[in-house]
Amino acid sequence: MRESKMRRFKINKYSPFYSLLQGIWEQKVARVGMYILLAIIIFCLIGVFWTPYNPNSTQFPRDLPPSPKHWLGTDDYGHDVFSQLLVGGFPVIGVGLLTGLIGTLISIFIGISAGLYADTLVDRILSGITQIFLVIPGILIIELIGAYLGAEQIKLGYITILIALSTTGWAWGARVLRSLVLPLRRREYILSSELIGESKLSIVVRQIIPNNLPFIASNFFFTAIYGIAGFTFIYYFGLGSLTQVNWGTLLYWSLGGEAYLRGLWWWYIPPGLMIGLVALSFALINIGIDRVANPRLRVDNKKYKKMLSEIKKRRKEEEVIEWTK
Amino acid sequence: MRKDYIIKRGIYYVIIWFIGISLDFILPRLIPGNVLGTIIYGRIGGNLSAYGQNVQQEIETLVQQLGLSQYYHTPLYIQYFDFLKDIIRLNFGPSLTEFPISVGKIIAEAAPWTFMIVIPAVVAAFFIGNLLGRSAALHRGGIRDYVILGGTMFLYTFPVFVTGEILIEFLAVDLHIFPTGGQYNTFIFLKPTFSLPFIWSVIYHAILPVLTLVLFSLAGWIIGMRNNMIPILQEDYMNYYRLMGVPERVISSKAYRLALLPNFTSFSIALGYSVLGAVAIEYLFNYAGLGYFFNQAITGLDYPLLNGIFFMLVTAMVLSNFVADIIYGIIDPRTSKEETEGE
């Protein structure tokens, strides 16, 4: 009894998920990305338990430059910037990752159903919707919605931002997935599963998704980058809710205070840098996944250089032979 | 057959464009609350008592003046037809934040300034990015590859307006090399004129925004170029060249030309996206293009202006995608053939 339970939790080394993870881990680029992400998450975790000062208190002198007392100085309103930076990370990372997750789920659903039912009415409608979202930038639509909500004094909260970003960020993934599924559904093993009587859902879950796992993983991080960029854009245009401290609100206030014209670099560079680093870590992992999915992108410069030098050596030998003739 | 393909794509994009601009109509009506009331309140709310008894009449004349009768309670389909009529005539009514000036006039004045920074930025990013991508592909796995790829990835993921802020603070405020904002020196030139010093002033003021946009969009070209070129360099026909003793310099230039082809098709789409990027940074540089007024419209709840600029941006995106499709059809004739034959 116990043994069978143990067996269930054993890692299946041949599962596509495990091999993908292993492949990503082998890519140096992706590993660097994961270390950066891990460091940022630890930084934010520290913020949950400890900050040098209360991030919401405005008791400090204004516009102090960085000093041992205030590591990143204070802002126009007398906040300690470093405390705010510690506290404000998780909303950004969370919105980014969840946008990636929900957006990818939507693109899996729409892309695979469009691909499976290609050339039917379902496919036409789904592909049409995908095209619209592809051509008309999602951030533009969100800004329009935010502007109209602004008339009602409504600012976008985290949940609204998350919904808005994930419902506009799925289109690229859906289109590529559709084109990946199209040749797949004519393959023998899918046809034979259909003939055996396997249901469509089961084919999708057990054959189509595992086969396209590298692309889905890469799409996850791609959408997550979109989520983070969208998050900062929403705050940049002043459409986001300002009740909680996060890196977006920090940027918003520093912009409003014209920090960049007054030399208050410690107010806007740290949050910008942190947002940039989170997105960078996603992008690096994404490059690693690309290399797993497309082996021709893998860098084997040593092999290539060795081949080159061999060719050159051979040429020289040939020249010598020709010359001696 | 090609004409067929272009017409088909054209109809397709007209439909998408139609749906895009209809969002302008649908969204304000889906959102709870009374947009019209907010606008009216914004204009006369402060001194409501000054109007005394005539508030109702005042509101009605304001509605007529502002061209907001579309928000009145006529049936939805009539509102929609009015909306379409207005859009096709490019008549968005007067702006609310710059009141008597019409939205059409603001856009006509702002759009050239946006193109002033977008077109040089896209062209410069295209050339620099492709050359850097080529260099990264040729030295793949080396230090130069890591520096180029890592550096530009960082610039790409960095929020674009923070890049702009940093450039303004260090190059304009601290070092006084560039102006902090504006399109030209308003102390010397009161009005745009066609003289050499004026043109120089325009270029001088455009350098920083263009630089910001270039830094932001470089990564796309570099990664595209690198990912196109690495497989080409490993092709058998390239190895054949090497065996024939063709110098590596010639081989790399041949591979470069082959890899450039897909990047050409993304050129017009990049143009569309750079308009969006410009929207983000124009406010920062006080550069009175479309983005500057877009920001003003959002913060000032200036809905006619917002509609007008949204219309312009959607049109720009649809057009750039359409042009990209046509270029792609010319470069790769298979796509146009497949489309007409129905998959």
The CATH number of the domain holding residue B255 is 1.10.3720.10
Give the whole-number percent of chain B exceeding pLDDT 90. 7
Q: Does B1 map to a domain?
A: no
Let me know if residue B54 belongs to a domain.
yes
pLDDT at B231: 85
Does the pLDDT at position A9 exceed 70? no
Q: Has residue B92 been placed in a domain? A: no
Task: Provide the 10 A C-beta neighbour count for residue B20.
Answer: 23
Q: Using the predicted structure, report yes or no on whether residue A320 has a pLDDT greater than 70.
A: yes
Same domain for B171 and B283, yes or no, is: yes
Residue B93 lies in a domain: no
Same-domain status, B37 and B148:
no
For residues B117 and B37, state if they share a domain.
no
Give pLDDT tens digits for A220-245. Answer: 999 999 999 999 988 888 888 888 88
| Nearest residue of chain B to residue A226 (CA atoms) | B157
pLDDT band at B240; cut points 50, 70, 90:
confident
Whether residues B67 and B201 fall in one domain: no
Q: Is the dihedral of CA A70, A72, A73, A76 positive or negative?
A: negative
User: What pTM was computed for the model?
Assistant: 0.85
Position B127 scores a pLDDT of 92
The pLDDT mean for chain A works out to 84
Q: Are B271 and B317 in contact (CB under 8 A)?
A: no
Residues B58 and B176 in one domain: no
- Predicted local confidence at residue B121, as pLDDT: 93
Residue B39 lies in a domain: yes
Is A265–B162 a contact, with Cβ atoms under 8 angstroms apart?
Answer: no
Task: Out of A8-12, A80-84, A274-278, B94-98, pick the least confident.
Answer: A8-12
The verdict on residue B19 lying in a domain is: no
**Whether the predicted pLDDT of B55 surpasses 90:** no
Smallest CA–CA distance from B161 into chain A, residue: A236
A91-117: average pLDDT: 93
Mean pLDDT of B248-258: 88
Domain ranges, residue B287: 107-342
- Rounded mean pLDDT of A250-265? 85
Q: Which residues of chain B neighbour A304 with C-beta distances below 8 Å?
A: 233-234
Q: How far apart are CA A301 and CA B230, in angstroms?
A: 10
Both B117 and B66 in one domain: the answer is no
Verify that B207 and B336 share a domain, yes or no: yes
* Same domain assignment for residues B215 and B129: yes
The reply to whether B130 and B57 lie within a common domain is: no
Contact A226, A103 (CB under 8 A): yes
What are B21-35's pLDDT values in tens digits? 888 888 777 766 666
> pLDDT: is B65 or A246 the higher one?
A246
Does residue B300 lie within any of the structural domains?
A: yes
Domain match, B37 and B141 both: no
- The predicted pLDDT at position B92 comes to 79
Q: Which of B30, B34, B41, B169 to mutate to test the interface with A (most CBs of A within 10 A)?
A: B169
Are B159 and A150 an interchain contact pair (Cβ–Cβ within 8 Å)?
A: no
Most A-contacting residue of B31, B143, B315 (CB-CB within 10 A), to test interface = B31
The verdict on B211 and B329 lying in the same domain is yes
Residues B292, B114 contacting (CB under 8 angstroms): no
The domain total for chain B is: 2
pLDDT of residue B339: 45
Identify all chain B residues contacting A265, using CB atoms and an 8 Å cutoff: 166, 169
Give the residue-averaged pLDDT of A62-91. Answer: 84
Task: Verify that B52 and B174 share a domain, yes or no.
Answer: no
Query: Is B302 contained in some domain?
Result: yes
